[in-house]
Every structure is written in structure tokens, then in C-alpha cells.
């Protein structure tokens, strides 16, 4: 090639370079002033979700489009910063927004490989893209990205830019920012992460889906090893730490349980309350709501209710598989079809879906989510063994292709099933109404219907204490003798056809004391008491406990709990007994804070003995506590004795045909209600009384909630006189209102406060 030709070519090249530079300068002059304002960066306000906590600061719920936790750059551990720099932009603190060495290195790498694999986006460029631009691969976007990067570098410090990147970047699993990702993937704070875990998170920005350790653990670990290698090469970690991190196993947060404590029903109550108050800003302003729940108490309620409903289900037998997959799904090498079939089945706590691969009377092999094969033998088959017989119809037999539930126990895997029955449990502090635990059903993901607050059910015999409380006010005492004998009620007294009530055992035992009658839940005695005091009086009296009289028509059927209540209403009502006569309203939010921790609202509860209204004579509450203590220790609630406490009181409840089973119980510091029933009311079974279906749930919860809590008794209030009397069980210290002492225990009709009905009239009705 001649020198003249070479000179011409060089001139052309230089001319082109000048032309490109000129065009670039012209574009810069035209484009730079039109770049967007940096207000979104300088006044950074990320969309932070609503977060809900227990009173002891355990996260139980998060609501928002983006899962994000803002963290200032000063709070980010140094090694976490270094891991990000090693993975994304090692020269971040040296370049001015564009890393020219990085661009050159990427160009050389792409040329030598023959493919366009390497990029040269700096952290600043990623901030520009995430806040202002799209991910489209065009020259215009890259040019604008470069200009924005210059502008950002000119207006913000390096730490400010890194802070924006750290909090804004998407990292998979709906996590935005590294603090949120640390919680979602590992259930840890940033400062608790190991070098291996930091490297895993630092590797996510490049491809959050491809390197997601939950979805693609193998690819994620390859990326993690690359980041660790770069951290070691850059001397961010020493040889020892590098070797340890390289060999660290992948241990993620339990993905099947998003939060450490199951409180989905109460979290939803909080969400609804916040939306009503703050509208759509509920989900973006970073509100923090601290509830009245205690994490240990809440988890005890959740586990106790589920165990009680599963136990009920076991008593009534295995119903069969939930469904069947097509035969081709079971063919060898079709694991992806098995995974697709299981993806349609929701987990329910420890009851996991699985597909049966083989089945016999001795063994069942099944495929569960994640590709794990499990084998169920011996005791694990006992619950459903009958459904393994060849004599069972194919539609209900456990056979290959059956979709079943399995549960891991201490002895291994066992067959299980989702209960059809539902339940509710709520516990509150009777001194101020603070809800300590609430489980609105078996599984929130199966049904969000909150049975604690929304289920209006008949309370059955658990309503009797309120009738007896009214009777104390009218002159009936615990020693009053009343006839447990057959009774036919006129239609006018029950609002319908004639009624011939029975006791649950179908027997009649003649004269007995009010104490004995309530302890043993004798229906006929309660009805006679209500006849004596008058249904209108009783209907007015129950309003002292927070019941709406309209929900409890003034008929004799009120004696057996034929009205409608919710479990939460029952908890508030029994709190009046537990706190010696004060009406407190339940509440579940202690305070609301903004994203900076400033208190926006705080509940000022009504407190018994302080600002709460006294709604019941302290003497009435004391005598009722004495009566209900006997119910809980000697009567239908005697299973509470397993707790070994002397301060428990409560009442079982069973409605007609056992459609509903209840136990309402308490001690001075805690009231708890358990309910069991079907959403579409039907019988729970002939022997499924409150003491069988509901009481074990209550006992299980209280065994945990009262652990370490001292026994507390109720002092005898002024105006109550103890007397030793002869009863069906021998000598007994009975309690009477001082102005209504009765010396004849067989008649035992004391006086009540206020406008009591003449005793002769009461006697005529009672006997």
C-alpha cells in the first residue's frame, strides 16, 4: 500500500472520528438539558410496604407491591459493599460513571469469544437505568444512560449512589434491595450474613431469575462461586475465609413458611383497618403496625387449633385421596409433569401434597414437591390403611397417581389429610382487652374467613353462666335446690312449637344445687332458673357483658344458648368474670408508626379498675368465678386438671345435634375461647361435646401460654359471706351475698341486689 493511499485512509478515519465527535457533542448539547430531573434520586422515597409486627417485634405480615426495607449506606456491612463491588463494579470508587477500562475489557472479551457476552454497565449506569430508563438494547438508551450517569456522578456522592443502588435493585422473590433479600432468602439481617451468603446476594442483580437460589440453586451457586473468587482476588476476603465460603452449604430460609409466626388472620385484620384509615398509601408509605400479639402465644394458638382439628379428623376416619393425576404423568422420566401437578396443590403448614407412585398394605412410595421421594411404612399408614385395600373402589383407594397429604413426624412420614371441619381460637388480656393470640381458622390460604370475628354461631351451654349471673342478682344462690326433672314448655315461651328439652345424657336426677347443676351442665335446671327470673330480665342482664339483646330473643331457649355470638364476643364477655366485673373492649393494635419510627397513633385501652366501666357487681363476679372453677376442675371441663393449676375457670358448650363445640375459660390474666364446627352447620358427631372437641385445644394452648405464670386467686369481696353447708358431696364452703343468707340449703333462695322478685313467687316458678 502506497504512502499516499495510507495517508488518504488515515485522513478519512480522522475525519470520521471528528464527525462522530461533532455529532456526539451536538447530541450532548441537545440531549443533556433534556435529561430528567434527579429529584427522584435526591429525594428518594421508595415504595415501602406495610409491615405488621407482634408486640415483641416479630414480623407477621407484609403488604405491598414491592418487598423492600430501606437501609442507609452507613448501616451496610463493609463486606456486603465489597461483595457487590466485586460482582458488579470493582472500580466504582475510581471512575466517573463510565468505566472505560471496563468497556475496553468487555470489547476485547467479546471479540476474542466471538460473542457479545460481557457488558460494562457500572453501578451508576444501573441506577440511571433502574430509575429512569428501560432495559431495551438500543444505542439511544445506552447514550442516554451514559449521559444520565455523568449527571448523577456530578450531583451525588459515591456513597449516595451506592445507597440508591443497594435499596432499589431487584433481587428476585419480589425483593427490592439487599436488606429485604437477606430477610427473604435467609431470614437474617445484613449484619448476620456469612461471606458465602453475601456473595450469593451480590450475584443476583445480573440475572435475578436465573440465579435465584430458590428456583435455580445450581446456577445460583455457580454465580456465588464466581463472586467469591472475585472477592478473594480483590483481597476482600483472606484465604481461610475464601475456603470456608467455597464449601459452605446452601441453607435458605424455610420457604414453606414465609413468617416465623402464623398470624395471617390478624395480619389481614390490620391490613383492612389500615386501608380504611390510610387508603392506598397503606401499601407504599412504610407504615409499621405493632399489634398486641405475643409471638409465643400466637404460635401456640395456631398449633393448638390445627392439632385439635386434625385430631377430630382422625377420629372420624380417612376420606380418600384429594384427586388423581393422569396415567402419563407417572411414566418414567416425567418428573416435570409430577412437579406441574403438585404445583397446583397448595401446602398447608406441615400437611404437604404428594403423588403416590406405588401402594400396598405394607408400604406407600410418593413424590413430593422438590423432587423428593418418600416412603411411608408401618405406623405411618395406620390412619389410612383401610383405603389401601383392593376391595375399596378405585375412586377412593390409595393407588398410583393418587394425590394425598403427608406429614413428617418423629417416626418418619405418615399419611394425613386436610380436615373439613373448621375452628377458631382467641385469647385476650381480661384487664385491658388486648388480644394475645388469634387463629381464625385451620388455614388462611384455604379460607380467609375469620371465624373469630365473622362466624355467628350458637354458644350452647357456654352461655349458661350469663343466665346464672342474672339469677344471682334476682336472689338465687349457688346452694339453691332446683329440680332436674322433665319439663314441657308452652310454645309461647319458646317462640314456636312446644318444647320438651332434655339433658345431654337423657337422664333426670331430681333436686340438686345450682352449683352442681352448672358444674354438670344440667339443661332442665338452667331452664327453670330462667323461668324464675324472667326472660326479659335475663335478656337485659346479658347486655352487661357486651351481647346485643337482639341476637338473643327473649325466649326460654336462651337458657341453652340458642342465640348468636362470635368467639371474640365470648372472649370479651368472659373477661367480665375474669377481671371481677369490668367491661373492656378487645383491641389488637398497640401503635402505628411511620417509616421513620414516629408514632402516628396509639391505642389507649380501657383498663379494669382504672378507666373501664364496672358493669357487674364484684360479688356476682366472685361467686360466678367460684362456680366456673368447679366446672373446670370437677365438671364437664375437668380435663383442665392436667394443667395442675388452681386458678382456672370455664364452661363447655355443645349445641343441638353437636353442631358447635365450645370451651370458654380463663384465669385472672388470660381469657381464651375455642370453637369447633363446620362452615355449613352439621353435626360434629354424637360424642363430640365441647369437652371432647374444643377443650383439648384450650388445654394445649394454656399449657404453653401459662408456663411460668403463678397461680392467682380472687380475694373474697366485701359483702360476700362464706358458710359451710351440706351438699350432695358433703360439707362445702359456699358463698352468699351477705344480705341474702339462707339457712335452709334445700330451699336456698337468697336475695339479690335491687328490685328482686318476691321469694315466694320465685319458689312457685322453681318448684
Domain range annotation of the chain = 66-246, 319-416, 426-766
> pTM here?
0.83
Q: Distance from first CA to last CA of the chain, Å, rounded?
A: 132
- Across the strands, what pairs with 412? 409
Cell of 134: 428501560
Contact assessment for residue 187 and residue 260, using Cβ atoms and an 8 Å cutoff? yes
* Distance in angstroms (rounded) separating the CA atoms of residues 71 and 11: 54
Q: What is the pLDDT of residues 14-39, one digit of tens each?
A: 665 555 455 455 555 555 555 666 66
**Looking at domain 319-416, what is its CATH homologous superfamily?**
Nucleic acid-binding proteins (2.40.50.140)
User: 757 falls in which pLDDT band (50, 70, 90)?
Assistant: very low
**Structure confidence at residue 726 (pLDDT):** 81
pLDDT greater than 50 at residue 748: no
Active site residues: 88, 461
- CATH 3.40.50.300 holds for 66-246: no
The CATH topology of domain 426-766 is Beta-lactamase (3.40.710)
The answer, yes or no, to whether residue 1 has pLDDT greater than 70, is: no
Element at 145 (helix H, strand E) = helix 139-155
Residue 763 pLDDT grade (very low, low, confident, very high; cuts 50, 70, 90):
very low
Contact 753, 617 (CB under 8 A): yes
Match 405418615 to its residue by C-alpha cell.
414
Question: Can you tell me the distance from the alpha carbon of 701 to that of 436, in angstroms, rounded to the nearest whole number?
Answer: 12
For residue 5, give every residue at least 6 positions away whose Cβ sits within 8 Å of its Cβ, in sequence order, or none. Answer: none
DSSP 182: I
Predicted confidence at residue 126, as pLDDT, reads: 87
pLDDT number for residue 47: 84
Sign of CA pseudo-dihedral 588, 594, 597, 599:
negative
Q: What is the pLDDT of residues 115-151, one digit of tens each?
A: 444 456 898 888 888 777 555 554 555 666 777 888 8
Residue of 657, 654, 663, 588 whose CA lies nearest to 632: 663
Q: Which of 196, 201, 199 is nearest to 71 (CA)?
A: 201
Tens digit of pLDDT for each residue in 588-638? 999 999 998 999 999 999 999 999 999 999 999 999 999 999 999 999 999
At 544-571, the pLDDT tens digits run 999 999 999 999 999 999 999 999 999 9
For the chain, the average pLDDT equals 88
C-alpha grid cell, residue 378? 408401618
- Rounded distance between C-alpha atoms, residue 398 and residue 410, angstroms: 23
Residue 642 neighbours by CB under 8 Å, 6+ apart: 699, 703
Amino acid at each position: 500500500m502506497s504512502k499516499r493511499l495510507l495517508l488518504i485512509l488515515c485522513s478519512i478515519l480522522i475525519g470520521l472520528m471528528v464527525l462522530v465527535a461533532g455529532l456526539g457533542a451536538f447530541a450532548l448539547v441537545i440531549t443533556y438539558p433534556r435529561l430528567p430531573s434527579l429529584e427522584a434520586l435526591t429525594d428518594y422515597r421508595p415504595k415501602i410496604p406495610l409491615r405488621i409486627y407482634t408486640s415483641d417485634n416479630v414480623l407477621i405480615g407484609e403488604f405491598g407491591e414491592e418487598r423492600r426495607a430501606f437501609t442507609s449506606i452507613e448501616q451496610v456491612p463493609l463486606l456486603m459493599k465489597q461483595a457487590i463491588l466485586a460482582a458488579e463494579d470493582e472500580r466504582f470508587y475510581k471512575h466517573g460513571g463510565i468505566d472505560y477500562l471496563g468497556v475496553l475489557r468487555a470489547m476485547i472479551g467479546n471479540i476474542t469469544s466471538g460473542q457479545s457476552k460481557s457488558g460494562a454497565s457500572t453501578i451508576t449506569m444501573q441506577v440511571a437505568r433502574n430509575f429512569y430508563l428501560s432495559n431495551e438494547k438500543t444505542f439511544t438508551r445506552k447514550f442516554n444512560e451514559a449521559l444520565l450517569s455523568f449527571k448523577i456522578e456530578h450531583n451525588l456522592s459515591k456513597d449516595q449512589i451506592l445507597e440508591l443502588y443497594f435499596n432499589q435493585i431487584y433481587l428476585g422473590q419480589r425483593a427490592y434491595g439487599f436488606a429485604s433479600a437477606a430477610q427473604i432468602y435467609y431470614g437474617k439481617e445484613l449484619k448476620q450474613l456469612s461471606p458465602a451468603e453475601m456473595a450469593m446476594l451480590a450475584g443476583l442483580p445480573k440475572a435475578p431469575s436465573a440465579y435465584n437460589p430458590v428456583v435455580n440453586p445450581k446456577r445460583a451457586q455457580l454465580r456465588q462461586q464466581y463472586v467469591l473468587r472475585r472477592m478473594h482476588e480483590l483481597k476482600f476476603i483472606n484465604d481461610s475465609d475464601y475456603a470456608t465460603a467455597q464449601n459452605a452449604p446452601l441453607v435458605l430460609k424455610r420457604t414453606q413458611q414465609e413468617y416465623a409466626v402464623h398470624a395471617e388472620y390478624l395480619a389481614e385484620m390490620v391490613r383492612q383497618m389500615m386501608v380504611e384509615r390510610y387508603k392506598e398509601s397503606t401499601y407504599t408509605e412504610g407504615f409499621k403496625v405493632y399489634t398486641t400479639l405475643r409471638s409465643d402465644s400466637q404460635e401456640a394458638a395456631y398449633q393448638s387449633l390445627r392439632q385439635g382439628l386434625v385430631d377430630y379428623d382422625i377420629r372420624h376416619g380417612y376420606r380418600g385421596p384429594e384427586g388423581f393425576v393422569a396415567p402419563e404423568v407417572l411414566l418414567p422420566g416425567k418428573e416435570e409433569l409430577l412437579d406441574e401437578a403438585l404445583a397446583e396443590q397448595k401446602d398447608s403448614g406441615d400437611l404437604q401434597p404428594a403423588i403416590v407412585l406405588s401402594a400396598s398394605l405394607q408400604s406407600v412410595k410418593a413424590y413430593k414437591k422438590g423432587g423428593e421421594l418418600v416412603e411411608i411404612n408401618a405406623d405411618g399408614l395406620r390412619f389410612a390403611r383401610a383405603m389401601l385395600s383392593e376391595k375399596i373402589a378405585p375412586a377412593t383407594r390409595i393407588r398410583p397417581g393418587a394425590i394425598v397429604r403427608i406429614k413428617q413426624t418423629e417416626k418418619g412420614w405418615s399419611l394425613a389429610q386436610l380436615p373439613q371441619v373448621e375452628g377458631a381460637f382467641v385469647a385476650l388480656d381480661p384487664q385491658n382487652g388486648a388480644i394475645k393470640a388469634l387463629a381464625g381458622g385451620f388455614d388462611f390460604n384455604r379460607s380467609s374467613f375469620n371465624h373469630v370475628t365473622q362466624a355467628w354461631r350458637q354458644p350452647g351451654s357456654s352461655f349458661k353462666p350469663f343466665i346464672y349471673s342474672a339469677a344471682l342478682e334476682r336472689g338465687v344462690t349457688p346452694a339453691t335446690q332446683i329440680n332436674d326433672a322433665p319439663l314441657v314448655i308452652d310454645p309461647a315461651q319458646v317462640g314456636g312449637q312446644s318444647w320438651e328439652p332434655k339433658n345431654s345424657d337423657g337422664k333426670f336426677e331430681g333436686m340438686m344445687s345450682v352449683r352442681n347443676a352448672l358444674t354438670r351442665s344440667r339443661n332442665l335446671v338452667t331452664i327453670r332458673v330462667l323461668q324464675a327470673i324472667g326472660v326479659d330480665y335475663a335478656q337485659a342482664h346479658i347486655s352487661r357483658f357486651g351481647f346485643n339483646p337482639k341476637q338473643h330473643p327473649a325466649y326460654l331457649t336462651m337458657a341453652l344458648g340458642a342465640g348468636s355470638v362470635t368467639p371474640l364476643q365470648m372472649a370479651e364477655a368472659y373477661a367480665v368474670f375474669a377481671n371481677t366485673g369490668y367491661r373492656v373492649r378487645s383491641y389488637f393494635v398497640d401503635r402505628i408508626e411511620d417509616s421513620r419510627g414516629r408514632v402516628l397513633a396509639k391505642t389507649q385501652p380501657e383498663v379494669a379498675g382504672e378507666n373501664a366501666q364496672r358493669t357487674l357487681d364484684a360479688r356476682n363476679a366472685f361467686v360466678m368465678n367460684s362456680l366456673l372453677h368447679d366446672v373446670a376442675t370437677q365438671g364437664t371441663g375437668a380435663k383442665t386438671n392436667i394443667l395442675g393449676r388452681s386458678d382456672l375457670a370455664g364452661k363447655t358448650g355443645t349445641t343441638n345435634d353437636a353442631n358447635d363445640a365450645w370451651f370458654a375459660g380463663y384465669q385472672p390474666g388470660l381469657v381464651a375461647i375455642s370453637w369447633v364446627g363446620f362452615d355449613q352447620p352439621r353435626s360434629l358427631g354424637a360424642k363430640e361435646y365441647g369437652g371432647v372437641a374444643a377443650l383439648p385445644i384450650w388445654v394445649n394452648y394454656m399449657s404453653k401460654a401459662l408456663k411460668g405464670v403463678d397461680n392467682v386467686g380472687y380475694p373474697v369481696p366485701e359483702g360476700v359471706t362464706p358458710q359451710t353447708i351440706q351438699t350432695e358431696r358433703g360439707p362445702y364452703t359456699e358463698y352468699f351475698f351477705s344480705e341474702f343468707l339462707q339457712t335452709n340449703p334445700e330451699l336456698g333462695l337468697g336475695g339479690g341486689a335491687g328490685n328482686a322478685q318476691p321469694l315466694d313467687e320465685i319458689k312457685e316458678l322453681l318448684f
